[in-house]
Amino acid sequence: MDYTPNTDSDRESMLKEIGVHDIMDLFKDIPEDLILKSPLRIPDQLSEFELIRELEKISKKNKKLLSFLGGGNYNHHIPSTVNAVTSRGEFSTAYTPYQPEISQGTLQAIFEYQSMICELTGMDVSNASMYDGATSLAESMILASRIKGKKQVLVSQAVNPFYREVLKTYARANEIRIVEIDVKDGLTSDFETEGSSAIIIQSPNFFGLIENLDEIRKKTEDILLITSTTEPLSWAMLKPFSEYDVDIVTAEGQSFGNPMNFGGPGLGIIATKNAYVRQIPGRLAGETVDIHGNRSFALTLCTREQHIRRERATSNICTNEGLCMLAAAVYLVTYGKNLRRLAQLNNQLAVYFAGKLNQIEGIDMVFDKPFFNEFVVRIRKDILSKLSDIEIGVSLENYYPDLKDCYLICCTEMTPKEDIDRVLHEITQ
């Protein structure tokens, strides 16, 4: 927002309308000791011109690095069609599609998006309106506990560490016990399913490796199998999850047409079997015909809506997330069948980089398993010091202490072969 639209008289009028004498009355639930009693010690305000000039001066201190960071947020090219469509006024004004007669464009976009997610995953139904990949996964954990009536969930340690923290937060509030499964050679290891409602597996996992879902499914016939994906572009290359009899598929949809935005907002994806359609949170748009027989769209299910279902709502922290969903829909339509070629390009770049790095003394591949566009290497410190202007990858030591000096390296179409060769050249000098 470029300016403050409310005058003092506007604020006084609004406070009077809602029966509040002072704006601080709106914050009475906040403990007194947390409320500032005096202004912060910050410089005086600047004019708009002075502020812009100061920010431009600060921005010039930024150093543009060549980045191979991944780990849950991915740098992909966004076609110009995405911004052209998502910036249209029809979409920016129709935020919540409660009135189908005036929200046909938004409802159709949701319907088309859900259809494409089902096609990519092979699942029966997909929803809209989830915040991000982590909260979608947490909602699925609650869903599984509700379906199975058991308060224990198995979670692989190869699931993104940040996602696991979100799971723990949700689990505490819902009195769910999380049992973490060990990882061996980068893949989910042995586990026992007794007393559990579900098992949560990320594939490709946090190390970029493809989990053996066939074997995991054989061991989990009595519980629900939930998958998480942070890089859904992999779906264009890998077998659909339905072929592994996965019950619930969750993902972060940021890679589909949404910029990284310093970590958010994201796009939460849930797709599931038809048997659980009335249990999933969020919104589902359906296709129908109007009284004249014309193709039209409506909200078929709103299982999360507090205003309708109240205490029986499946979730109380969903949002429309319509703009991110729309961007994903436009992105997928733009690429169409070429999405597979894009996924192959990402994979080929990663395989090329990993192969070259593995030939350099002082750099070793940590896991000898199939991966998509991320892989883990151990890098000797003297080699790492040569890469001062390169973000080579995510340091894993903070999340996995046994992976000292190990880095998760990611390749996308935004790190072409020329950039990879530049890194290799700097390392070998």
- Quote the CA–CA distance of 208 and 204 in Å, as a whole number: 5
Percent of the chain with pLDDT over 70: 93
Q: What mean pLDDT comes out for the span 17-24?
A: 90
Phi, psi of 389 (to 5 degrees): -110, 25
Report the run of H or E that residue 18 belongs to, with start and end: none
**Are 228 and 286 in a shared domain?**
yes
pLDDT higher than threshold 90 for residue 314: no
Last residue of a domain, one of 296, 318, 335: 335
In a domain, 22, yes or no: no
Residue 262 or 372, more confident: 372
- Residue 138 lies in domain: 80-335
DSSP letter, residue 367: -
CATH code of the domain in which 158 resides: 3.40.640.10
CATH code of the domain in which 416 resides: 3.90.1150.10
**Are 288 and 411 in a shared domain?**
no
- pLDDT band for 94, please (50, 70, 90 cuts): low
Q: What is the pLDDT of residue 281?
A: 84
**Are 149 and 71 in a shared domain?**
no
pLDDT higher than threshold 60 for residue 125: yes
3-class DSSP assignment, residue 429: coil
Q: What mean pLDDT comes out for the span 223-240?
A: 98
Render pLDDT for 216-227 as a digit per residue (tens, 0 to 9): 999 999 999 999
Phi, psi of 207 (to 5 degrees): -90, 5
Rg (CA), the chain: 24
pLDDT higher than threshold 70 for residue 202: yes
**Are 231 and 355 in a shared domain?**
no
Residue 304 or 173, more confident: 173
Minimal CA–CA distance to 256: which of 5, 27, 74? 74
Taking each helix axis from N to C terminus, what angle separates 104-121 and 322-335, rounded to the nearest 10 degrees?
A: 60
Phi, psi of 183 (to 5 degrees): -115, 135
pTM comes to 0.86
- pLDDT band for 242, please (50, 70, 90 cuts): very high
Render pLDDT for 257-284 as a digit per residue (tens, 0 to 9): 999 988 888 999 999 999 999 888 888 8
Contact, 134 vs 162, CB < 8 A?
yes
Q: What is the pLDDT of residue 355?
A: 97
**Are 188 and 329 in a shared domain?**
yes
Minimal CA–CA distance to 125: which of 288, 10, 282? 282
Q: What is the pLDDT of residue 408?
A: 98
In a domain, 61, yes or no: no
**Are 244 and 343 in a shared domain?**
no
DSSP letter, residue 276: G
Question: How many structural domains comprise the chain?
Answer: 2
Phi, psi of 136 (to 5 degrees): -60, -40
Type of residue at 416: P
pLDDT higher than threshold 50 for residue 306: no
